[in-house]
Structure 1
Amino acid sequence: MHDSDNADPVSPALLDLLAVFEGPLAEVQFPGVDLGILRSQVDQVRGHALELDQLRAQLDALHNQLSEARLRLLRTAEQGLAYARVFAAEDPELEARLADIHLGGKAEPRRRKLEVAAADSGNSEPLRLPPRRGRKPRVAEEAPTGS
């Protein structure tokens, strides 16, 4: 049943034996083995397999609910941390404590600092970003066109 939706948890060989006990051996009783006992145990195995499949479905549903709840918690905590950092701008001790909290969500994109030209330097250049660090992206070389 868990291997495929329609798979019988009772093996074909056991079902063949049950068929023999339902046919030619229907009236025969061996010590601890007869048609009633075999049928009862087959039903018991099928019942347990069905219950197991239902529990697996519940477990999968609960796992999905847990994952969604964790994601909601992380998003709420990230928002709370962002608010707390703004609030702590005037409190260096609280700001330092919040700086050590990393919630494990996706990393925030690093913001590049603006360079501001001093107003009294006579420099009329507008705000500019410092050059990016790291390697330049590769540019695909154009294939030579030949006839």
Structure 2
Amino acid sequence: MHDSDPADPVSPALLDLLAVFEGPLADVQFPGVDQGTLRGLVDQVRDHAHELEQLRAQVDALHNQLTEARLRLLRTAEQGLAYARVYAADDPELEARLADINLGGKPEPRRRKLEVAAADSGNSEPLRLPPRRGRKPRAAEEAPTGS
């Protein structure tokens, strides 16, 4: 009986059988099955498993590199889009075209419209935003309890 290695791709039962063929049945050959055939196949399975492990590690590393490259691209593109929008402030056609571009990052915060009093209305109140709609954030709803 062999000590089982959890990383070994060959099952303990197969290793026990190989030990029998390498021990008491070392000189016995059955059609297509003998110690050399079994040993060769066990080695082949281990070699393929090791190669697969290395390839998975490479795939994981490439996946991480791809994720980082996509993030760098997105950040750079967002910066470029912001610059382009500032540049296009005097070009309504370009500004409209840029407005349709959504890079898939965080959505831009929705801007609230200003209420502007007419200049000739005699109203001297400052500009103000309309009240926010919707529920207050949970943290603001809960008042701290004191002892």
TM-score (norm 2): 0.82
Deviation of 1:140 (Å): 4.5
Higher alpha-carbon deviation: 116-125 or 45-54: 116-125
Deviation of 1:117 (Å): 4.4
Q: In the alignment, which residue of structure 2 is the partner of 1:124?
A: 124
Q: In the alignment, which residue of structure 1 is the partner of 2:100?
A: 100
Q: In the alignment, which residue of structure 1 is the partner of 2:40?
A: 40
Instruction: Check if 1:77 corresponds to 2:64.
Output: no
Q: Residue 65 of structure 1: SS of its match in structure 2? A: helix
Deviation of 1:112 (Å): 2.3
Instruction: Check if 1:13 corresponds to 2:13.
Output: yes
Q: 1:124 to 1:141 in 2, by over 3 A?
A: closer
Q: Runs of 4+ in structure 1 displaced over 4 angstroms?
A: 116-121, 140-143
Deviation of 1:89 (Å): 1.1
Q: In the alignment, which residue of structure 2 is the partner of 1:114?
A: 114
Higher relative contact order (CA 8 A, sep 6+): 1
Deviation of 1:81 (Å): 0.8
Distance in 2 separating the partners of 1:99 and 1:46: 57
Distance in 2 separating the partners of 1:125 and 1:49: 76
* Offset from partner CA, 1:92-137 (integer Å, 9 cap, x none): 1111111111111111122323344455544332332221122445
* Offset from partner CA, 1:1-47 (integer Å, 9 cap, x none): xxxx9421111111111000111111112222211111111011001
TM-score (norm 1): 0.82
Q: Which amino acid aligns with 2:27?
A: E
Q: 1:86 to 1:21 in 2, by over 3 A?
A: same
Q: Which runs of 5+ in 1 are unaligned?
A: none
Distance in 1 separating the partners of 2:143 and 2:56: 54
Q: Which runs of 5+ in 2 are unaligned?
A: none
Distance in 1 separating the partners of 2:50 and 2:41: 14
Identical-residue share of aligned pairs (%): 86
